[in-house]
A and B are shown apart, each in its own frame.
Chain A
C-alpha cells in the first residue's frame, strides 16, 4: 500500500515540523513581544534562549497532574485532546509547496469546507474544558468561547466564500493556482481586500488571541477555561492554541497571499516551501504585533462588532464579488 505509506510518512514529518514549530513559536512570541515592549525576553536557557522551549516542556512534564474534585472526568480529559487534534488535522488540506510531493490532501474538492468544519470542532474542546472543570471561571470562559467562536465563524466562513467564488473551486490547491497570473497583484489580498481583512480579524477572534482573548481574560477569569488544568494537560491547550496560530497563518497565506507561489518555483520546487514558510512567519509576526498593540475588547462590543459590523460587511462583500464575477469585470474572471 504505497499510498498509505506515503501519507503516513508525510503526516509524521508534518507532525514533527508542526510540534517543533509550536515550541519555537512560543519562544518567538516571547522574544518579539519583549522587543515590542523594549525588553529582551528569555535569554538564559542556551544561546539566545534557544533551549527555552525545551526547558518549558521538561518543566511541564514533571509538574504534578492535578485532577480537581468534582470534575466530569471523561470530558475533563478529552477536552485538551479535542483542542489539539483539530488544530493539527487542519494542515491535511493546506498545500505547503508546489506539486503533490508537498501536499497531503490539498486537492480534495471540499478543502475550504473542511477548514471551516474543523475550526468549528476545535471550540468543543474549549467549551467542554470550561464545562467539565466544575469551576465558575472555567465555565464563564467556556461560555464566552462558544459565543465568540459562533459569532466570528460566520464572518470567517463568508470571507472564505468570497475566496471560493474568486477561485471557482473549494480545493485549496486550486485556490493557490487561481492567484498566480504571474504577478503579485494576483494575490487575493489585492483582489479581495475586504475578505482578507475580515478573515484576519475573525481568525484572531477564533484563536481567542488578543485583542479577542476574553476566553482567558486574566483579570476577570484567572485563566478562563484552562484554570483547572496543570502540567501536560495545560501544555496540550497551549500546544493547541499555538498550532492553531500556525494553521490560521497558513490558511491566510493560502487564501490571500498566494500560498506557495513566488519567483522561480517552477525551476526549483523546494523554493515554494520556503516562500510558504516566509508568508506564514509574516502572518505570525503580524499576530504578535497586534497582541502587543491592542487592548482587550469589552465583551458586549465584541459581540456587536461581530454581528453588526463583520457579518453584514462579509455578506455585502460576497454579493459584490458575485456581481463582479457575473458581470465579468477584469480581475474578477
Chain B
C-alpha cells in the first residue's frame, strides 16, 4: 500500500535525522532517570505508609507513572521539531509531493513512538536493580499503552505546531496543558493519599486512569477493571489524537 510505503519513507528520514543528533533523545531520557534516582528514594517511606501490605516495593507504584509521564512529555514537545522543519520549508516541500497527507504525519509519529518505546525499555532496565518486578505480559501491554499515548500526544503536538507555526506560541501552550495533566495524573504520588475533592478532580483526567491501568498491569492484574479502563482511555485518546492530527495535516493552510 502506498500510504504505508510513504509512511515508511517519512519515518526513515526522521529516524536518520534523530540518530544523527541523538542529544534530544538522550535529554528526554535523562528526565525520567532523574525522577527515578533523585525522587524515587523519597517515595519509599510514603509507600510503606499508604500501601495496605499489598505492594511492598515503591518502584512498583512509581515506575508505571514514570513511563506514562515519559510517553506524555516525550511526545508532547515534538511539535518544536516540526516548526523547525516548517521554517526550513520541508513541510511545504513534502506537501507539494503526491504523498498522502496522513503518511506525512504518521511517519513522524512513528519515529516518536519508536524513540519512546526504546526510552521506556531503558528506564525499566534501570529500575530492575532498584527492585522493580513485574510480569512480562503486564510490561508488554504497558509498553503498548505508552506507545499509543506517545502517538496521541505527538500528533496533537504536531497539530498545534502546524496551526501556531511559532515556538513562542507553542511553548506556553504546551506547558499550560502539561502542568495540570501531570499534577492530576497521580504520576508522582498516588491520588488516593490526597483529599476527596482533589481525587474527584483527578477523576476527570483520562491520564489518571491510564496511570492506574498501567499500575494494575505491573501488579499483574491484567483483567482488572483498572487496566481495562486504562486501555479504554488510551485507545480513545489515540483515536482522537490521530484524527485531529490527520485533519490538520490535510487542511490546506497547515
Are A and B interaction partners? no
Give B residues with C-beta under 8 Å from A: none
Residues of A within 8 A of B (CB): none
